[in-house]
Amino acid sequence: WGGGGWGAERFRLLGTGRGGACAAWSADGVQWRDHPGNPVFESDDTLTLARHPLTGEFLAFHKRQEEVRGFLRRTVWVSGSFDFRHWSPPVPALRPAEHEDAWAAPGQRTDLYSLAAFPHATGLAGWPLWFRVEQTHAAPAPNQAADDGPIDVGFATSSCGRRWAPLPDAPAMIPRGAPGAFDHGAILGTANTLIHREGETWLYYTALSTSHGAPMPPKQVAIGRAAWRLHGFASLTCVGEAGRIVTAPLQLPSEGLLLNADARGGWLRYGLCLEDGTAIPGFTCESCEPLLARDATAWQMRWNGGERLPTGAPVRLEFELADAALFSVYGA
């Protein structure tokens, strides 16, 4: 296996083949060396790779078949590695919960097709693909899968990458298109890299014109692009009476803070406090420059009494808002 230094491993790859997940590395992205112990763990035909933003651990999310509530279902498992050489034994990351079957008639079920994760804030967020198996073809035709039904994109979060919390009762994050559209039948896969451009967040995805189990043709495969407002997949929203939100302790960047919020119908103000909740003089909600009747993806957070952000120790962010939606706060 040998060394070679970081330059010899500038590019790293993990894919499925030879009965499981196979690792490789490259200095230039053209010529690759295989891990001599491939496959490094068992895996099915979908696999995505992410890296935890705090620990640096590589996390490989892959499909496995296991029995869940009387059905053999697709589920997502995870294996981790800090050096891309030694991988931990895979453990379950996400399974279809009972409420995911609420739509199903007898003989139908929900599977979890894949999970593409990406670093977000101090943890991870991801796109679970929910496969509603409406029927199974006993004798599928050539170029046809046995299980048939639509696949939709959900949203989930995790602090560690091994325990995931899907957003409950949420609409599809990428709505499938109308009949005849390239993405009418299924969202088959998503990228795990977001592109932030001109106040929007983009995500590329693979789509099917028909449901998963339709023959090819008429099934066609295409690539699409979804777009949200910046970081716009979820928000903390307050309607009516004013609400208050206080974050966990955070280490602030030295260059400033930007606010992403929609307060066109109301207002939002913000402050800083110590870990015990004590307000920091000069950085209170009363001394901030509030967001009033405006929608902004990059509002510069300023205080009338504070010159520099207190970056020496962790602090909490405090928000007060009414008839407004808070999407994110990030470094300037």
Alpha-carbon span 208 to 202, nearest angstrom: 19
**How much is the pLDDT for 177?**
97
Residue 12 token pair:
């790293």
Alpha-carbon span 166 to 117, nearest angstrom: 12
| Structure confidence by residue, pLDDT tens digits, 38-50 | 999 999 999 999 9
**3-class secondary structure for 70-85?**
CEEEEEEEEEEECCCC
Indicate if the pLDDT at residue 114 is higher than 80.
Answer: yes
- Per-residue CA distances from 309 to 244, 255, 268, 312, 328 (Å): 21, 8, 19, 9, 18
Average pLDDT over residues 244-257: 91
Please, which pLDDT band fits residue 244 given cuts at 50, 70 and 90?
Answer: very high
Q: Judge if pTM exceeds 0.85.
A: yes
Q: Which residue did the predictor score with more confidence, 305 or 68?
A: 68
| Structure confidence by residue, pLDDT tens digits, 56-93 | 999 999 999 999 999 999 999 999 999 999 999 999 99
Alpha-carbon span 62 to 45, nearest angstrom: 8
User: Which range scores top for mean pLDDT: 105-114, 254-263, 310-319?
Assistant: 105-114
| Structure confidence by residue, pLDDT tens digits, 176-220 | 999 999 999 999 999 999 999 989 999 999 999 999 999 999 999
**How much is the pLDDT for 75?**
98
Alpha-carbon span 293 to 213, nearest angstrom: 49
Q: Tell which residue, 21, 49, 48, 51, has the closest CA to residue 37.
A: 21
Alpha-carbon span 166 to 112, nearest angstrom: 12
**How much is the pLDDT for 3?**
44
What is the Cα 158 distance to its own chain's centre?
9
- Per-residue CA distances from 20 to 64, 124, 297 (Å): 11, 24, 42
94: region left, alpha or beta (phi > 0 left; psi from -120 to 50 alpha): beta
- According to DSSP, the β-strands at 151-153 and 123-133 are antiparallel
| Structure confidence by residue, pLDDT tens digits, 1-24 | 334 454 688 999 999 988 899 999
Alpha-carbon span 179 to 176, nearest angstrom: 9
| Structure confidence by residue, pLDDT tens digits, 171-181 | 899 999 999 99
Share of the chain above pLDDT 70, in %: 98
User: Which run of H or of E encompasses 91?
Assistant: strand 91-94
Find out whether 131 and 45 touch, Cβ atoms under 8 Å.
no
* Other C-beta atoms lying within 10 Å of the C-beta of residue 59: 22
**How much is the pLDDT for 170?**
80
Q: Tell which residue, 38, 100, 91, 101, has the closest CA to residue 62.
A: 91
Please, which pLDDT band fits residue 108 given cuts at 50, 70 and 90?
Answer: very high
Amino acid at 181: A
